[in-house]
């Protein structure tokens, strides 16, 4: 985990900017961004190669060029939000993806994040929950594709650190990306988004999922197909849980979880 630099992305490859750089804010603009454009940018540049259930998306433009995207989403479980803030889950939101290109100076991320919080605050959102993943990941050849991070941007933005989220078993694809439990469940149940999720497995070598009988035989059972290819194409990695940061957006809103000291460089992933 690297703490003296700021991580950036381009075409799903990370790079780093030295801390202490200052952006010229007059050159940048933050605005709402249609989901389809946010998805295209995130899929092109974010290491995960996936896109969350977006509720609000924002663009960072420099002189008219899109150089960053923030996506606020709804988590797989309402409890991710209601465990932290009072009120219905729809009144708070998760920071699902935050991607800046390698040309954006170091403190551009905190400036951009602050502008998105201002917009969410005006809409009446009570708070934001954000997670940092401290666990490094490797591809099938052992090459590190993700170094892990402790959430420097959140600490610099005065977030409340509340410990870990839930532990899980990650399923890593050959390129080191994660096939989420949510994606796996969608394919098995053929819920909304199952086709996109199944294509991830197909891109890594799975045979196409047959959803109707054809000349070559009967249709596949989605549960059997999913279990077969998940076992064949992914490897399990035990993950102790991401580190959780909390941002109350309204003056009277408090976190239901106690504040803990920030994790620092060298902390256990």
- Per-residue pLDDT tens over the stretch 179-238: 999 899 999 999 988 998 999 999 999 999 988 766 566 788 999 999 999 999 999 999
Q: What is the pTM of this model?
A: 0.84
Residues 149-183, buried b or exposed e (16+ Cβ, 10 A)? bbbbbbbebebbbbeebeeeebbbbebbbbbbebb
Rounded Cα distance between 209 and 187, Å, is 10
In this structure, the strands spanning 127-132 and 92-100 are parallel
Q: How far is CA 140 from the centre of its chain?
A: 22
Q: How long is the chain? A: 269
- Per-residue pLDDT tens over the stretch 126-167: 999 999 999 988 999 999 888 888 888 899 899 999 999 999
pLDDT of residue 3: 47
Q: Decide: 75 and 81 in contact? Cβ < 8 Å.
A: yes
Rounded Cα distance between 160 and 136, Å, is 23
Percent of the chain with pLDDT over 70: 88
pLDDT of residue 194: 92
User: Which has the minimum average pLDDT: 13-27, 35-49, 82-96?
Assistant: 13-27
Residues 3-27, buried b or exposed e (16+ Cβ, 10 A)? eeebbbbeebebeebeeeeebeeee
Rounded Cα distance between 14 and 5, Å, is 12
- Per-residue pLDDT tens over the stretch 37-56: 999 999 998 877 788 889 99
């Amino acid at each position: 985990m690297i703490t003296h630099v700021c991580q950036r992305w381009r075409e799903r490859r990370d790079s780093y900017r030295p801390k202490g750089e200052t952006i010229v804010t007059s050159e940048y603009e933050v605005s709402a961004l249609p989901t389809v454009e946010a998805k295209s940018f995130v899929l092109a540049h974010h290491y995960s190669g996936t896109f969350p259930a977006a509720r609000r998306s924002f663009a960072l433009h420099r002189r008219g060029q899109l150089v960053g995207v923030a996506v606020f989403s709804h988590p797989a479980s309402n409890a991710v939000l209601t465990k932290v803030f009072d009120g219905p889950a729809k009144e708070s939101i998760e920071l699902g993806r935050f991607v800046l290109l390698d040309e954006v100076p170091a403190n551009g991320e905190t400036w951009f994040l602050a502008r998105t919080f201002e917009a969410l605050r005006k809409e009446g959102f009570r708070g934001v929950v954000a997670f940092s993943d401290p666990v490094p990941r490797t591809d099938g050849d052992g090459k590190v594709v993700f170094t892990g991070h402790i959430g420097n941007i959140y600490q610099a933005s005065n977030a409340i650190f509340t410990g870990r989220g839930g532990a899980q078993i990650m399923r890593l694809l050959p390129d080191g990306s994660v096939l989420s439990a949510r994606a796996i469940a969608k394919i098995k149940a053929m819920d909304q988004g199952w086709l996109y999720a199944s294509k991830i497995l197909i891109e890594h070598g799975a045979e196409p999922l047959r959803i109707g009988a054809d000349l070559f035989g009967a249709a596949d059972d989605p549960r059997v197909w999913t279990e077969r290819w998940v076992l064949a194409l992914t490897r399990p990695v035990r993950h102790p849980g991401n580190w959780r940061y909390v941002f109350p957006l309204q003056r009277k809103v408090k976190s239901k979880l106690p504040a803990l000291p920030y994790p620092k460089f060298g902390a256990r992933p």
